[in-house]
Amino acid sequence: MERIKIGVVGGLGHIGLIQAACLAALGYDTIAHDKDEAKIKKIAEGKMPFVEPGLEDLVTKAMHGGRLRFTNQMGHLQEADIVYICVGTPTLPTGAADCSQVQFAVEEIARNRSTHAIVAIKSTVPVGTARRLTLRLRERNLSDKVTIVSNPEFLREGAGVDDFWKPARIVVGSEPADPQPAGTRVFGSRPTATAGEAAAKVAGIYSPPGVPVIITSWENAELIKYASNAFLATKISFINEIAHLSEKAGGDIRVVSKGVGLDPRIGPGFLEAGAGFSGPCLEKDLKSLIHQFNEAELEPLLLRSTLLVNLRQRKNLIQKLEDRLGLLYGKQIGVLGMAFKPETDDVRDSHSLPIVNCLLSMGARITVHDPWINGPEQAGLSETELSGVIWASSPYEAADGKDAVLILTAWPEYREIALQKMKARMSKPVVVDGRNLFDPQEMQALGIDYQGVGI
């Protein structure tokens, strides 16, 4: 069997480290590049850059087995047959995705190669990026060094290792045989011989039985990623919109969601109403997709609404606090949950940050708690971010002496809170729940003034 060697750029990021560790666990000789020397030193000492269930064990075993190495030298990727690009594509002020790290990585790899490599782009990049980067390589006479394929990633944080082993589909995009301008008749066209070979090789790296494999054009692969994330975001905003009417009508959105999701054409996932979606992917990708529509002089009506509904969810939670407490100036509020979702310590683009910042700007005094984050340093926040906020070591401490508790992340341990005990520590028994963790009737029976979303 051909021994394929793997390189990963952005190897200590969420996608990169999962990719590198899982491929090394499959037996591939893997070298992961990251520009952050401090993180490389830490991982050599056994310290993970972030928490992800199941990952530490994989990394440790692969490192000890000699199948996984880390480097900050791009030249060390020289021997890799396939190099995965897993660097970030952050949002620019215009909403566009900043692809400069992807471009830099692709060109550096091409410049450093003496032999040919396949470069598989896992980073989420706007439609047309793989084509544009290939043209740039051609202009610089570097195109014989690398073949670019698009291989979008669908991992969820907190379930990334599991998602790697059990993907819903594998998508690989490559250059179509007949050169044509982006956006025209690419669907269904056959890849060039080299591109087809490269796509098949990438698809075959890990392709569990029964998992559908889509080998298609660059553009289709890039769009599949954006359309998937935008659809998930739209599902959440849709149920959040319905939640408003449900709340007014005295309904329970959780029952409505269940009833809707049982239709197999709709499916049960991503129908939980609440504070809305956040985190490093859904919002960023939605903004980038809107920007791509604008660039193409198209009007993304639905996508804009998805984003607006999401922002409204955040404002509504603050409104709910004001409805109960009046002016928030000087009020003491305990906020439960800083991570953008449970089972992660990631606060990047978490909805909790703008909500807490807004409460602070209104003059409220805030104590926060998160089971996996004990302070701003661990959260990677600078000294100026959330300054004045107190970090509590338990939800009870966060509720101590407070006028209200605001729940923002659906951590399982919050469902286990001894409500009587919490109520006894609060100065007013007000709970605004952005994740619908409790039963309103039970809360009422306990004498807690409880307000969820859509219930």
Give the pair of three-digit tokens for residue 234: 């739209």
Nearer Cβ to ligand UDX, position 232 or 355? Answer: 232
Nearer Cβ to ligand UDX, position 62 or 232? Answer: 232
Scan residues 174-233 and list those touching ligand UDX (CB under 6 A): 229, 232
Q: What is the 8-class DSSP label of residue 137?
A: H
* Catalytic status, residue 22: no
Distance between CA atoms of 174 and 121, rounded to whole angstroms?
A: 11
Interface with ligand UDX (CB under 6 A), residue from 340, 391, 411, 414: 340
Nearer Cβ to ligand UDX, position 113 or 225? Answer: 225
Q: Which stretch binds ligand UDX (CB under 6 A): 88-96, 181-189, 271-279, 291-299?
A: 271-279
Nearer Cβ to ligand UDX, position 203 or 286? Answer: 286
C-alpha pair distances (Å), 211 with each of 163, 186, 199: 12, 24, 16
Of 113, 104, 30, 106, nearest in space to 69 by CA? 30
What is the closest distance, in whole angstroms, from the C-beta atom of residue 225 to ligand UDX in the complex?
A: 8
Distance between CA atoms of 450 and 444, rounded to whole angstroms?
A: 7
Interface with ligand UDX (CB under 6 A), residue from 277, 391, 411, 450: 277
What is the closest distance, in whole angstroms, from the C-beta atom of residue 383 to ligand UDX in the complex?
A: 26
Q: What is the 8-class DSSP label of residue 373?
A: B
Interface with ligand UDX (CB under 6 A), residue from 22, 271, 309, 389: 271
241, 273 contact by CB (below 8 A): no
Nearer Cβ to ligand UDX, position 195 or 432? Answer: 432
Per CB under 6 A, 272 contacts ligand UDX: yes
The active-site residue, picked from 22, 99, 281, 358, is: 281
Nearer Cβ to ligand UDX, position 277 or 450? Answer: 277
388, 360 contact by CB (below 8 A): yes
Nearer Cβ to ligand UDX, position 157 or 370? Answer: 157
Cα torsion at 383, 87, 49, 417 (round to 10°)?
70
Give the pair of three-digit tokens for residue 113: 């190669």
Distance between CA atoms of 87 and 12, rounded to whole angstroms?
A: 9
Scan residues 225-244 and list those touching ligand UDX (CB under 6 A): 229, 232, 236
Per CB under 6 A, 22 contacts ligand UDX: no
Interface with ligand UDX (CB under 6 A), residue from 146, 149, 243, 281: 281
Interface with ligand UDX (CB under 6 A), residue from 216, 234, 278, 451: 278
- Output the DSSP codes for 217-273: EHHHHHHHHHHHHHHHHHHHHHHHHHHHHHHHHT--HHHHHHHHHTSTTT-STT---
Q: Please provide residue 279's backbone torsions phi and psi, each rounded to the nearest 5 degrees.
A: 100, 175
Interface with ligand UDX (CB under 6 A), residue from 122, 254, 320, 341: 341
Q: Which stretch binds ligand UDX (CB under 6 A): 53-61, 153-161, 365-373, 439-447?
A: 153-161
Sign of the torsion formed by the C-alpha atoms of 54, 55, 58 and 61: negative
Per CB under 6 A, 332 contacts ligand UDX: no
Give the pair of three-digit tokens for residue 126: 């706007």
What is the closest distance, in whole angstroms, from the C-beta atom of residue 328 to ligand UDX in the complex?
A: 24
Number of residues that bind ligand UDX (CB under 6 A): 20
Interface with ligand UDX (CB under 6 A), residue from 157, 247, 370, 403: 157
Distance between CA atoms of 22 and 27, rounded to whole angstroms?
A: 9
379, 373 contact by CB (below 8 A): yes
Nearer Cβ to ligand UDX, position 282 or 426? Answer: 282
Interface with ligand UDX (CB under 6 A), residue from 70, 84, 154, 450: 154
Nearer Cβ to ligand UDX, position 225 or 291? Answer: 225
What is the closest distance, in whole angstroms, from the C-beta atom of residue 227 to ligand UDX in the complex?
A: 12
Partner residues linked to 324 by β-bridges: none
Distance between CA atoms of 147 and 75, rounded to whole angstroms?
A: 18
Per CB under 6 A, 155 contacts ligand UDX: yes
Give the pair of three-digit tokens for residue 273: 């109403």
What is the closest distance, in whole angstroms, from the C-beta atom of residue 229 to ligand UDX in the complex?
A: 6
Per CB under 6 A, 121 contacts ligand UDX: no
Q: What is the 8-class DSSP label of residue 133?
A: H
C-alpha pair distances (Å), 159 with each of 41, 46, 306, 312, 437: 26, 21, 25, 28, 21
Distance between CA atoms of 263 and 350, rounded to whole angstroms?
A: 31
Distance between CA atoms of 239 and 235, rounded to whole angstroms?
A: 6
What is the closest distance, in whole angstroms, from the C-beta atom of residue 312 to ligand UDX in the complex?
A: 13
Residues 241-270, one symbol each (x = binds ligand UDX by CB under 6 A, - = not), give: -----------------------------x
Q: What is the 8-class DSSP label of residue 189?
A: P
Residues that bind ligand UDX (CB under 6 A): 153-157, 229, 232, 236, 270-272, 274, 276-279, 281-282, 340-341
Residues recognised as catalytic: 281
